A and B are shown apart, each in its own frame.
Chain A
Amino acid sequence: MSLLERYTQPAESQLPTVSHQGEIPAGQPTCSITIDGTVVTAVVGEAILRAAQRAGFNVPTLCDDEKLAPAAACRMCLVEIEGYQRPMPSCHLPAEAGMKITSASDGLFAMRKQNLEYILSDHNAYCMPPCQVGCPTHIDIPGYLELMAKGQHVEAARLVKEVLPFPYALGLVCPAPCQEVCRRGLVEEEIAIRQCHGYGGELSLEMEQAPTPFPQEAATGKRVAVIGAGPAGLTAAYYSALKGHAVTVFDMMEKQGGMLRYGIPEYRLPKVKLDKELNSVWQLRDTEFKGGMKLGRDFTIDDLFAKGYDAVFLGIGAWSSNELRIPGEDLPGVIEAISYLSQNASGDPVAVGQGSRVVVMGGGFTTFDCARTSRRLGADVTVVYRRSRKEMGAHYTEVDDAEHEGIKLEFFAAPMRIVEKNGRAAGVEFQRMALGEPDASGRRRPVPIEGSEFVIDCDVVIPAIGQVPVLDWYEGSPGLRKTRRETIVANGALMTDRPGVFSGGDCQMGTVTVIQAVAQGKLAAKAIDRYLAGDDMNRVAEEIRAEEEVPELIDIVPYKPEEPQVRMPFLPFADRVKSFQLIENGYDKAAAEKEAARCLQCVCPDAGQCDLQRLSLEHGLTENRFHRAEPVDYHDYEYDFSHDFILRDLNKCINCTQCVRICRDVIGANCYGLMGGGYDSIVTTPWNVSLSYTDCVSCGACAETCPTGALMMRERDLQTYELDIVRCIYCGDCVEVCPHGALGETPNFELSTYQRFGVTVLAKEELAAARNWKPSEHIPLADESQRSAIRPPEIRPPGPPRWNA
């Protein structure tokens, strides 16, 4: 019996449905087929695809639904069958005894990939937003910006804290890789993404209890030791604690924060507020900070396991400056960048003062932290870098600001030796450089120019050419491995060679930005949680790799009116020279909301659930050869957002016809069909009218079955409907007809309301009170004593019904 026959038979004579996950029910006629060399049992007449899925073969498909008659439209499930001239669609061809099937081969893979390339070449829609892809922590940036634009700042902060526990600190110091790729930049200017979450973070600081992304889970009884209270360590601690594990954080310094406190100067990040934000970790249950405890000096990793810790996270940072390797480096007057910054941060005396002449060498963040700190201490500062401004590791705003603050910049100069005078450093001799061939990092390698030596006189020399982790405890910690660059080796799940010991941040990656360290802390917490649950860490590593590898697939910018970035108040340059006052003053509420509203929301709500995206990733479709041709080569459809429950975006439609079939054959409303011819064929409503004008019953089956984001259930805005209790006769008709069961009957046949899809039915008095109500807040009630009652209450008339009176 062919498939079509199965579907056209009356229901009672059809074979019982065989789920692709379940077992074959007894009594079904079965046969044996061979798929990729494995003998598989199939029900006679069922689609090959069904049998393959049941046997665990991953045959890709975009148009198959076991409820529906096959369409063979997407051409993804084609398999090679012995005796057939061409690959055949496995969703359509019934299994027959003795079939020999190849479901995966290089040829099929290439053809399927070509199919996907075709589909995506006319998939005129956004997929992942580039900001979210660009951020190492992958914050849902469009999501929190939308919440902020609506004024729901606490919700926004919660969303940010799902992956970034310290939005205030990062709002000030993050180099914002997200903003560099922001699509709004193609319109006029990128969104000030980091200032926006900075505002959310600042708002959280003012709350008694910082909001958490989700309630802390019940205690698991497991204990995690985190070594290093920097951004990586505290992030790992935060998420481990939220997962219910008891966390102890050790740090060699007395106070928390790591490089955030001891490396980043006050003018970029005020320590009082930093402490306030980091304290959100200690607000969680079973968290503890132990300062002044140095790994190797006060304890070892073995000690921690002996004390009953189940997992250890190493986030010790990179606290040792690289040496210049030039003569005179040991002279007094040559000071170490990190200790200089940390002494200054701790309030200890430093070698730089009013009138000092300081030379800082390097081009990274630390270089400029040292230079601008020295400038604020009254020094005359020169930054010397061996390449050009473009190659500097520090963010360009940092370099520009430094220049404006009166710091001299000297490019293309490499230090030769420290000039000695009276046993102290008195200057540095440099040699001019020119740019040569690009090196492994892609940056052009500087080459010296002979005879171009020159000397810059100074009192203090600060080499700041990068840092490495301090691994003096390494010998006493068996089971770990380190690289030539003195970093700790960890796998994709951030676990070191010693089971239970994880590592992340600067000490594992080499010096990175704060946001990368936070991202590692987040991943480590996830990996630790899985480790403590006893999962296979190789699989966890594979899962993490797959999750992290989510490229954006499409790039199209719709028009929005131009709206320049909302400027943030900055401390004037003149005021900066002798003050460690914070430079960036942050947004206020209005500015944050205005800026957040500029976001183009260039994200597909279906990203992550989209079958097309998943298959494209599985097939390694990283590039498309059909870009940037004439407008006639692509379709640009209008959205249909007119329906109350279902959003239609034809641009994302791939003509799989699942909605056509489910609406016609399962629901019976028959709202969809193909319109247009040839390349312009598209699945839509008759005459492409609004779905509201069809026989749509708002069941949502089409949105559920849609493999892409072309049909989606509408996100319901929180709204209230007015119910005039005085005129209601309690007929119950509304209860009967509501397709979503938003209204129900109480046993004594009175109306009650449920809150479904965020819609509340309110009586008039309540509605009046709710007019000023923000959706994120409690619904204010006339009688405040009812506050504790579960909302919403049953609606009852104020007195007995009139006809009884």
Chain B
Amino acid sequence: MPTSTTYRVLDLEINAAHERDRARAMDPHELIALVEASGLRGRGGAGFPLARKLAATRTAAAGGSAYLVANAYDADPGSPLSRTILLRRPELVIEGLAIAAAAVGATKAYLYVHPEATTARAAAEKALEERRAGLGDLQVEIALGPGGFMGGEESALLAVLESRRAMARQRPPYPATQGLLARPTLVASAETLAALPLIVRDGAEAFRMVGTAASPGTKLVSVTGAVASPGIYEVALGTTLGDILARAGGAMGTLKGLHVGGPTGGILNATRTGVALDYEPLKAAGTHLGSAQIRVIANDVCIVHEAAKLFGYLAKENCGICVPCRVGTKRVQGILEGVYSDLGRDDDLPWLAELADHLDQFSLCGFGITSASIIRTTVSEFPDDYRRHIADRTCPTGSCSPARSRRYETMAQP
């Protein structure tokens, strides 16, 4: 039976090394079954059940070598969740890595961190040195990412570990069947792995006591923007956005919107505080859990400008391999800048919808696919901001100054 009912990863009293040894003593299939019963889903944003990844990697390895990567990269600079865990509970990540390694049969693991996360890295290195003896055969190496948003993408980080440019790779095949050096590789976020010692200690039932039936457990979220107490909070999955906002002290000024999911996430308007922080409800609302950043937007912000800024960031950060993402993000940025520079036209909105569909359907990785949600949500949740700019040629908040003097024009070929 659980000794604690809080299940907050950050406050957990646990002897992680002991749980690692227990897990190693278990039959791997049993261990995977335990994780499956716990319903643990990937904390990286996509919410893929970890047990299925473990099983797929183990099957694909078929007794051969397999790799393990703990993604502690924190691609979204506004959501340093892995850094928080590494600073406060590095042993959970390292021992979670060891438990996952036992489940898939990997002997080589990487802890993949952001190059700028120096204090978190130091904490992880220290914890790793302390625990090296207990890890036995498992080699754990701290690997540095290249910096930038793209470095955290699961296939791009494999390229980085292979000493190549951080470029997304088309899936399938998924890393579980073909990852690092074309071998089966389990890529899981540090936060996901940190939950493993707990599940091993208390069992699946206990883990399911918090969170929802579909998504058990807690989740770290980063609340930023116009909020009284910005910071990292650990909440149960299924908590409404309004409750999280209340825990962070409420919005500064009048709440206008909540930007959920990091740079590629959509922006929900102030009426959506009842949406639960969970994979499916957020998807239904038009955005995604993503980096679990909840950025609070106050009334003095023009959403068109906000969307253009996001696409400007994406146009700078994408890996450059596929056309929809490389050129598409830049062109969407241009159109949005045209709109907030009061050069918009009525047909810009259907045009944006068309380009959003293209990003969604034709992009190579989640970067481009999810970025469509920015266009879709801002247009549907804040129609007034677009209308004021396009029809009335004024900024709804009076905050936009023109970014460009010329908009995109159609040129017919002779």
B328 to chain A, nearest CB (A): 6
What 8 new A-B contacts, CB under 8 Å, besides A622-B412, A626-B334? A5-B182, A75-B324, A552-B413, A623-B411, A628-B411, A654-B323, A674-B167, A680-B320
Question: Quick check: is B18 within 8 A (CB to CB) of the other chain?
Answer: no
CA distance A89 to B364 in the complex (A): 9
Question: Quick check: is A119 within 8 A (CB to CB) of the other chain?
Answer: yes
Flag the segment in B133-141, B172-180, B203-211, B253-261 that touches A: B172-180
A73-B322, A628-B406, A678-B316 known; A4 and B182 CB under 8 Å?
yes
Contact A629 B172 (CB under 8 A): no
Instruction: Out of B173, B355, B358, B414, name the residue touching A181 (CB < 8 Å).
Output: B414
A4-B173, A111-B361, A118-B328 known; A625 and B410 CB under 8 Å?
yes
Question: Quick check: is B272 within 8 A (CB to CB) of the other chain?
Answer: no
Question: Quick check: is A354 within 8 A (CB to CB) of the other chain?
Answer: no
Question: Quick check: is B144 within 8 A (CB to CB) of the other chain?
Answer: no
Contact A628 B409 (CB under 8 A): yes
Contact A673 B323 (CB under 8 A): no
B171 to chain A, nearest CB (A): 9
B410 to chain A, nearest CB (A): 5
Question: Quick check: is A133 within 8 A (CB to CB) of the other chain?
Answer: yes
A178 to chain B, nearest CB (A): 13
Question: Quick check: is A93 within 8 A (CB to CB) of the other chain?
Answer: yes
A4-B178, A8-B182, A629-B404 known; A679 and B327 CB under 8 Å?
yes
Contact A118 B327 (CB under 8 A): yes
- Chain B residues 249-284 with CB under 8 Å of chain A are none
CA distance A676 to B167 in the complex (A): 12
A20 to chain B, nearest CB (A): 20
CA distance A629 to B150 in the complex (A): 28
Question: Quick check: is B148 within 8 A (CB to CB) of the other chain?
Answer: yes
Cβ contacts under 8 Å, A2 to chain B: 172-173, 177-178
Contact A73 B173 (CB under 8 A): no
Contact B334 A93 (CB under 8 A): no
Interface readout for A77-110 with B: 1 if CB under 8 Å, 0 if not? Answer: 0100000001101001100000000000000000
CA distance A122 to B331 in the complex (A): 10
CA distance A628 to B338 in the complex (A): 12
Question: Quick check: is B369 within 8 A (CB to CB) of the other chain?
Answer: yes
- Interface residue count on the A side (C-beta < 8 Å): 52
Question: Quick check: is A655 within 8 A (CB to CB) of the other chain?
Answer: yes
Cβ contacts under 8 Å, B362 to chain A: 75, 78, 86-87, 111, 114-115
- Chain B residues 87-121 with CB under 8 Å of chain A are none
Contact B318 A679 (CB under 8 A): yes
Question: Quick check: is A538 within 8 A (CB to CB) of the other chain?
Answer: no
B351 to chain A, nearest CB (A): 7
Question: Quick check: is A74 within 8 A (CB to CB) of the other chain?
Answer: yes
Cβ contacts under 8 Å, A628 to chain B: 406, 408-409, 411
CA distance A681 to B320 in the complex (A): 5
Contact A676 B320 (CB under 8 A): yes
Whose C-beta in chain A lies nearest to the C-beta of B357? A111
A4-B178, A92-B170, A630-B404 known; A677 and B412 CB under 8 Å?
no
Contact A633 B409 (CB under 8 A): no
CA distance A450 to B165 in the complex (A): 80
CA distance A646 to B73 in the complex (A): 41
Contact B331 A118 (CB under 8 A): yes
Contact B324 A115 (CB under 8 A): yes
Interface readout for B164-196 with A: 1 if CB under 8 Å, 0 if not? Answer: 010100101100011000100000000000000
Cβ contacts under 8 Å, A627 to chain B: 408-411
CA distance A8 to B411 in the complex (A): 45
Question: Quick check: is B46 within 8 A (CB to CB) of the other chain?
Answer: no
CA distance A207 to B196 in the complex (A): 92
Whose C-beta in chain B lies nearest to the C-beta of A74? B323
A86-B369, A118-B331 known; A679 and B324 CB under 8 Å?
no
CA distance A25 to B369 in the complex (A): 39
Cβ contacts under 8 Å, B357 to chain A: 111
Cβ contacts under 8 Å, B393 to chain A: none
Contact A623 B406 (CB under 8 A): no
Contact B406 A630 (CB under 8 A): yes
Cβ contacts under 8 Å, B27 to chain A: none
Question: Quick check: is A605 within 8 A (CB to CB) of the other chain?
Answer: no
Instruction: Out of A74, A551, A629, A674, name the residue touching B407 (CB < 8 Å).
Output: A629
Most buried by B among A87, A181, A624: A624
Cβ contacts under 8 Å, A4 to chain B: 173, 178, 182
Most buried by A among B357, B361, B364, B406: B361
Whose C-beta in chain A lies nearest to the C-beta of B407? A629
CA distance A130 to B321 in the complex (A): 32
Contact B318 A89 (CB under 8 A): no
Question: Quick check: is B329 within 8 A (CB to CB) of the other chain?
Answer: yes
Question: Quick check: is A511 within 8 A (CB to CB) of the other chain?
Answer: no
A214 to chain B, nearest CB (A): 31
CA distance A119 to B358 in the complex (A): 14
Contact B414 A133 (CB under 8 A): yes
Instruction: Out of A70, A111, A114, A624, name the residue touching B411 (CB < 8 Å).
Output: A624
Contact A655 B321 (CB under 8 A): yes
Interface readout for B329-354 with A: 1 if CB under 8 Å, 0 if not? Answer: 11100100010000000000001001
Contact A655 B320 (CB under 8 A): yes
Subset of 22 A-B contacts with CB under 8 Å: A2-B172, A2-B173, A4-B173, A72-B364, A75-B324, A75-B363, A78-B362, A86-B360, A86-B369, A87-B362, A114-B358, A119-B323, A119-B327, A121-B327, A625-B409, A629-B406, A629-B409, A655-B326, A674-B165, A677-B320, A679-B318, A679-B330
Most buried by B among A89, A93, A674, A678: A678
CA distance A122 to B24 in the complex (A): 55
CA distance A502 to B390 in the complex (A): 57
Contact A681 B319 (CB under 8 A): yes
Contact A633 B334 (CB under 8 A): yes
Cβ contacts under 8 Å, B326 to chain A: 655, 678-679, 681
Cβ contacts under 8 Å, A335 to chain B: none
CA distance A624 to B409 in the complex (A): 8
CA distance A111 to B167 in the complex (A): 23
Interface readout for A49-90 with B: 1 if CB under 8 Å, 0 if not? Answer: 000000000000000000000111111001000000011010
Contact B323 A73 (CB under 8 A): yes
Question: Quick check: is A657 within 8 A (CB to CB) of the other chain?
Answer: yes
A629-B404, A679-B329, A679-B330 known; A623 and B413 CB under 8 Å?
yes
Contact A626 B323 (CB under 8 A): no
Question: Quick check: is A553 within 8 A (CB to CB) of the other chain?
Answer: yes
